[in-house]
Amino acid sequence: MAAAAESGDAGTDADAGRWLPPHSPSGLVLQTVEMHTGGEPLRIIPRLEAAEEAAAVGGLSLLSLRREVAATQDHVRQALMHEPRGHGGMYGAVVVRGGAAADGAHLAALFLHGAGYSAMCGHAVMALGRFALDYGLVAAPSCPETAVHLRCPCGPVTAFVPWDGRRSGNPVRFHSVPAFAVTTDLAINVPGYGKVVVDIGYGGTFYAFLSAEQLGLDVCSSETRDLVNAASAVTEAVKKQFKLHHPESKDLAFLYGTILTDGKDAFSEEPTTNICVFGDEQVDRSPTGSGVTARIALQYHKGLIQLNQTRTFRSSTTGSLFTGKAVKEAKLSDYNAVVVEVSGEAFYIGTATFTVEEEDPLKYGFFFK
């Protein structure tokens, strides 16, 4: 059973049980905390016993735990991400505490989406930073801001969260794992669109970047379906024509998605707009935290921005804004990298309890595109 911290007037477990609908005694009962960052949802699973047991008994690293959960608990992801409990744009995070998976951090997180599991998620990190303070995962928060240490599949990430002594606030910022440019001006042949030139950057996960104009589209005014189709075609083409390598783990060496931009990469105080299409044609409603991280790394690599120059990034789907800046140079194996700070606003929208009836033929959901 997944469980969140209870408030003083939440009642007893017996009281809560009486309010549950009929469900199978051996079936799932999952309690979640619902948030969003820049419009992108985050369904937080504060506790998943199977994941905790695997982490404690097996002494698994977070990447190993991700493989174990994908192999043995994928029905949980499907049940919570897919319809009818979720939707095509749903995103989630399983909180893991203690053991080798957390590796001394306040919490570790496994990131879930409609098609599987990701290595990094910036919008989730910002939401989880607030969640960690408000649900007591940090023993002694400090005013006016508390550093929350998270372990993500890609590595350690720190969120900096406003704290007034009673509750968390906004904006939340985080410092990424070292981010770097993989390649720039890579020519790719995209079936149906012809030859385009892409940059590939790493911000905890890998993305391909190009202007929507190269595909005959406008990221601000074209139909979302057209942008999704084009970005998905680029993703598939890059996967076939370019082999990715991560210096620390082959589990991280995959292209997560494609980000179409307005082409405004040179430094400006005006926002630059993009849309991220990842997984199985899933669209990020926010400006994409790990995407901002990778894009800043590319801009720094090209000499388009300097350290501590702040850029604003706008989602073409919701108009929500993140800011990003390179705060210091770093190294990741042979790559010249930067640590990027991304800032945005995360909000609570509710809590939920989900149940399962074993005789339900769609008990673990369905994926509808």
Q: Annotated catalytic, 121?
A: yes
**Of the residues 121, 152, 154, 276, which is catalytic?**
121
Task: Tell me how far apart the alpha carbons of residues 95 and 1 are, in angstroms, rounded to a whole number.
Answer: 13
For residues 219 and 95, give the distance between their C-alpha atoms in angstroms, rounded to a whole number: 34
Contacts (Cβ under 8 Å, ≥6 apart) of 171: 162, 343, 344, 345
Which of 143, 151, 83, 160 minimizes the C-alpha distance to 121?
A: 151
Token readout for 201 is: 């950057």
Spatial neighbors of 356 by CB under 8 A, at least 6 apart, are 23, 24, 27, 28, 29, 79, 363, 364
* Amino acid letter, residue 234: V
Distance CA 31, CA 166 (A): 23
User: CA 136 to CA 5: how far, in whole Å?
Assistant: 8
Dihedral of alpha carbons 302, 304, 306, 312, sign: negative
Measured CA angle at 77 (ends 149, 356), to 5 deg: 125
Q: Active-site residue numbers?
A: 121
